[in-house]
């Protein structure tokens, strides 16, 4: 029980650190009150530019990575030769990453007003399946260069994760990854419902 509970609590608390809100406040605004009101990288970037938003990108990504590493440590670092989470570490790591995403979405340190958890998901995949994460980064870069759109590249990379994960992990892991992605879909749906009607 502790092998799952400890990473879950740690993951939620890590995810709850409101990186975008903290960075934006240094520049005199709250991202939840401007733009699309999403306290995440993209909204901060639109307001401040790429350079100022890099800490948000890195921070939100590291939430998922740190949660996954905590779970690996607690569960005994069970991985395959290529670094893919395995055995007794699978449930704790997926639980920790899910908790980090939930913390980002509903942060206890920021009034439960959080973001969509995309970068936190990506950071978690870096621990869950490092080869899939690496290929997703390559896809992001290639598509972004071809289309001259980081947003398009990011979508291809995120949605491509389960596909490339099949090359390195069993279907049950890919299904669990799909469940993590459902949380992202839920957050986008909630944002759409909350946006003002025109």
Grade residue 36 by pLDDT with cuts at 50, 70 and 90. Answer: confident
- Location of structure tokens 């960075």: 23
Q: How many domains does one find in the chain?
A: 1
Spatial separation of the C-alpha atoms in residues 139 and 133, rounded to whole Å: 10
Tokens 């709250």, located at residue:
30
Strand partners, 79: 85
Q: How many CB atoms lie within 10 A of CB 54?
A: 15
Q: 85 is in which domain, residue-wise?
A: 2-194
129-155: pLDDT as tens digits: 999 999 999 999 999 999 999 989 999
What integer pLDDT is reported at residue 2 of this predicted model? Answer: 87
Q: What is the pLDDT of residues 50-82, one digit of tens each?
A: 999 999 999 999 999 999 999 999 999 999 999
Q: Which residues pair with 85 in a beta bridge?
A: 79
86-136 pLDDT per residue, tens? 999 999 999 999 999 999 999 999 999 999 999 999 999 999 999 999 999
């Amino acid at each position: 029980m502790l092998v799952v509970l400890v990473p879950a609590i740690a993951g939620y608390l890590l995810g709850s650190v409101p990186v975008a809100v903290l960075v934006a406040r240094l520049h005199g605004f709250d991202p939840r009150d401007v733009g699309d009101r999403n306290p995440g990288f993209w909204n901060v970037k639109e307001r401040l530019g790429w350079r100022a938003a890099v800490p948000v990108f890195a921070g939100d990504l590291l939430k998922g990575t740190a949660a996954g590493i905590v779970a690996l440590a607690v569960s005994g670092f069970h991985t395959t030769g290529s670094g893919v989470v395995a055995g007794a570490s699978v449930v704790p790591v997926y639980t920790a990453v899910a908790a980090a995403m939930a913390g980002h979405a509903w942060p206890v340190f920021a009034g439960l007003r959080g973001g969509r958890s995309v970068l936190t998901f990506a950071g978690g995949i870096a621990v869950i399946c490092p080869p899939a994460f690496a290929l997703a980064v390559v896809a992001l870069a290639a598509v972004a260069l071809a289309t001259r759109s980081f947003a398009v590249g990011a979508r291809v990379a995120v949605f491509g994760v389960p596909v490339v994960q099949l090359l390195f992990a069993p279907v049950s892991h890919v299904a669990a990854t799909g469940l993590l992605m459902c949380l992202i879909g839920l957050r986008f749906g909630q944002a759409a419902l909350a946006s003002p009607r025109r």
